[in-house]
Amino acid sequence: MVNSERNTVRQAEELLRQLFLEFAGLSVWIPHESPSDPGHDVVIEAVGPETTWRIVVEAKSRVTPQTAIALCERMQTHSDEFIPVIFAPVISPRVAEIAKAYGVGYVDGAGNCFLRGRRPPLLIERTGFKSPYPAPKRVIDPFSPKSSRIVRAMLSEPGKGWKVREFAENPEINVSTGLASKVKQALVEEGYVVERNRLLYLRDAIGLLNAWSQSYPGPAEEIPMYFRGDTGTAERTISRWCQDNALHYALAGYSAAWRLAAEVRYSVGAFYVEDRGFDRTLLEQLAVKYGGKGVDSGPNLFLWRPFDRSVLAGRMQASFDSSSPSRQVVAGQPTPWVTSPLQTWLDLKRSAGRGEEAANAVFEKHLSHDLHAAVKRDEEWQHGAV
């Protein structure tokens, strides 16, 4: 064992020793070896008047989500008499999430920890301690505007295996091979994607979707507007303006959700329009010829500029529930475009009010089946069933 590894193990020993000594009546013993459960860096026994907890620790100088998955899978083989724990100077929220999902504990260099034992029962969780160690740098942010095109593509076809060059060759993704390689590395390290037979597959589709929603910036710009009539009239007016000027557009947010899930209700619409629609001359035309006025309060529609052109990828023509009188298409009006269910979900997740409820409705109707199927497929692959 090299000196850096020894120092990491000693740091783990000392932190766990101090943690258990804070509890009155406990003594701590660190045997050199545990013959009944080998294959770890250190064993710690916390001994009380009536019980003993045995903690087996894997101590690493750095743990990525990818290595955390491998460690957790190995540590699951320990019997219930031992509490498996990962130690690293820095434990990211993603690593902590993975460890908990596998039933494995963790401790970082600042003393933040999660330990759960079954026989005998134990639960210790400490958070909020600021780490003196710098967080490892990502290869690249997979959720930046261009990088997220790859995330979008994989989540849009969650059962597909991808070659890196496909991301560069696909016109809707349109990224360089170099960027695609870096995003691949980041997603693999974060444990969201796995490479099998030179193809990339989603490993944690739900986790990737939730992580993206937390980093999702929303529209690059939004203009609150008011049109005479109700929200439906405002939406039809904007659609006509876009068609007259050959602008790419899509109903968004609640406007899209209402057409994708019957239970959604709303009173203020939203519309994504490509960058060209925000030119001053076209906005002036929208006001003068189509009656759309920018307002400071009381809008019935928001005009949204996409943070990236991929926002309009996968847009679809709205389908209506013909059994609902309120959803009948107005005679002579073309069926409008709406954002994809994935994009609609992202925008609703960041919306105030009943955004979460509407997002859940879209998720259950349009996203849940395929994403959960991808998760199940990965689990089957891990267990050799595929």
CATH number of 221-368: 3.30.460
Q: Which two tokens stand for residue 300?
A: 């019935």
CA 295 from centroid of its chain's CA atoms: 34
Tell me how far apart the alpha carbons of residues 205 and 182 are, in angstroms, rounded to a whole number: 19
What is the pLDDT at residue 327?
45
CA 39 from centroid of its chain's CA atoms: 33
Residue whose entry in the numeric block shows the structure tokens 């100077």: 89
Q: Is 197 left (phi over 0), alpha (psi -120 to 50) or beta?
A: left
33 C-beta neighbours (distance < 10 Å), count: 10
Q: Name the band, by pLDDT with cuts 50, 70 and 90, for residue 300.
A: very high
Between 77 and 198, the higher pLDDT residue: 198
What is the pLDDT at residue 137?
81
Residue 313 neighbours by CB under 8 Å, 6+ apart: 149, 152, 156, 172, 340, 343
How far CA 313 is from CA of 9, 143, 180, 291, in Å, comes to 49, 16, 18, 29
Beta bridge partners of 338: 251, 316
What is the pLDDT at residue 326?
41
- For the ranges 45-59, 125-139, 187-201, the one whose mean pLDDT is highest: 187-201
Q: Name the band, by pLDDT with cuts 50, 70 and 90, for residue 124.
A: very high
Residue whose entry in the numeric block shows the structure tokens 């943690």: 19
CATH number of 3-126: 3.40.1350
Mean pLDDT of 34-62: 80
CATH 3.40.1350 positions along the chain are 3-126
**pLDDT value at 371 more than 90:** yes
CATH 3.30.460 positions along the chain are 221-368
The CA-based angle 346-149-236, given to 5 degrees, is 50
Between 35 and 205, the higher pLDDT residue: 205
Say if strands 193-196 and 199-202 run parallel, antiparallel, or are unpaired: antiparallel
pLDDT above 90 as % of the chain: 69
Mean pLDDT value across the chain: 89
Instruction: Please give the DSSP secondary-structure letter assigned to residue 162.
Output: B
Say which amino acid occupies 125. Answer: E
Burial of 297 (0-12, 13-18, 19+ CB in 10 A): exposed
What is the pLDDT at residue 386?
55
What is the pLDDT at residue 238?
94
Each residue of 226-280: pLDDT tens digit?
999 999 999 999 999 999 999 999 999 999 999 999 888 899 999 999 999 999 9
What is the pLDDT at residue 323?
38
Tell me how far apart the alpha carbons of residues 187 and 194 are, in angstroms, rounded to a whole number: 8
CATH 1.10.10.10 positions along the chain are 148-215
Instruction: Please give the DSSP secondary-structure letter assigned to residue 106.
Output: E
Q: Is residue 112 within 8 Å of 127, Cβ to Cβ?
A: yes
Q: Name the band, by pLDDT with cuts 50, 70 and 90, for residue 106.
A: very high
Each residue of 307-337: pLDDT tens digit?
999 999 999 987 544 333 344 444 455 678 9
Q: Which two tokens stand for residue 314?
A: 């996968």
Tell me how far apart the alpha carbons of residues 63 and 249 are, in angstroms, rounded to a whole number: 43
Terminal-residue alpha carbon distance, the chain: 38
Considering the segment(s) 148-215 as one domain, its CATH architecture is: Orthogonal Bundle (1.10)
160 C-beta neighbours (distance < 10 Å), count: 14
